[in-house]
Amino acid sequence: MAKIGMIGAGSWGCALSWLLSNNGHKVTVWSALAEEIEMLQKTREQKSKLPGVILQESVSFTTQIADAVEGMDLLVLAVPSPFTRSTAHRLKDLVKEGQTIVNVAKGIEEKTLMTLSQVIEEEVPQADVAVLSGPSHAEEVGKGLPTTIVVGAKTKETAERIQNIFMSQVFRVYISPDVLGIELGAALKNVVALAAGIADGLGYGDNTKAALITRGITEIARLGMAMGGRFETFCGLSGIGDLIVTCASIHSRNRRAGILIGQGYSMQEAMDRVQMVVEGVYSTKAALGLAQKYHVSLPIIEQVNEVLFNGKPAADAVKDLMLRDKKIEVYDLQWDLPPADRV
């Protein structure tokens, strides 16, 4: 049995608490919101964000962050990406040398263009930081529906330890050394999911969504590889796997926000109606900043930015995507020359 500190009591934090407790581990859940902890203590249910998932009696709750950090075998950082730095800063003087933090949020910090693990390492340099990602909506994990995810860590030892803690008959865990690639796939797929939702809101069909997913993973891989990520990672669980589920699922807050925007709501109105943090909104500008830094073309993400922040009508963005200059799909592929032209 491991002692786990769950830093964050939202839908994902509570779903993972259910999973880890079901695996036989002792979980302590922290939130900065006293009313959230009071609700969990009384009902053992995150009623507003994860209704129907009842946390086991072995799960405890606290507003004292030290109680969820000190003496823990593993810390899971499960706060929304905009709050990763401020929360990590609170951990700075509590985390011991070599203590492992697994980040499960998905995003890129807009001002610094840093991945979330880089943010955590800057704030808590003594920590051993890992990441967990993949097709894993909280609503399904909390019901015990099977999925597979990937853990990225700097050492195989750390990755295997996390794998052993999370692995279950409904939660299959793979491991990888490509921390950067995992994080980039996780963050950028949210932006493409906004585009997929916008297409749904405009009334477009399955063909459109399939095209967005396919060209979306191409953009993600193009930027990710330019930054040092591995192509294989973007073909895996935190790349195409997470992209498919986020673009297609009814549970996807990014897709839901995109649908509203496609129906004519503003970005802020859409976020207000979703009533949860829409990670893709915060990652869009950061993705463009990274594209400029690494000289990479991201046409889908560029058009999402135009719709979100510059007031461009969504239908016009789609038209501009469709009418761009003609392209070759895969530049490494060549036509066979006629026999007479072969030298």
Residue 10, CB half-sphere, CA atoms under 13 Å: how many? Answer: 16
Write 152-158 long-range contacts (CB < 8 A, 24+). Answer: 152/176, 152/177, 152/178, 152/179, 152/181, 152/182, 152/183, 152/238, 153/128, 153/177, 153/179, 154/128, 154/129, 154/130, 154/179, 155/128, 158/100, 158/128, 158/130
Pick from 72, 105, 61: which is nearest to 86 by CA?
Answer: 105
Q: Other C-beta atoms within 10 Å of 312: how many?
A: 15
The strand pairing partners of 75, in sequence order, are 5, 101
Annotation says 3 is catalytic: no
Amino acid at 92: K
The per-residue DSSP string of 211-239 comes to HHHHHHHHHHHHHHHHTT--HHHHTSIII
Residue 220 vs residues 127, 132, 231, 257, 296: alpha-carbon distances, Å: 28, 18, 10, 20, 10
Q: Which of the following is catalytic: 106, 189, 209, 285? A: 189
Give all strands (DSSP E) within the chain, no chain letters: 3-7, 26-30, 60-62, 74-77, 100-103, 128-133, 147-152, 171-176
The answer to whether 177 and 230 have CB atoms below 8 angstroms apart is no
CA angle, 311 then 253 then 261, to 5°: 25
Pick from 124, 10, 130: which is nearest to 69 by CA?
Answer: 124
d(CA 191, CA 246): 10
Q: Say how many Å lie between the first and final Cα of the chain, rounded.
A: 67
DSSP conformation class of 264: T
- Provide the annotated active-site residues: 189
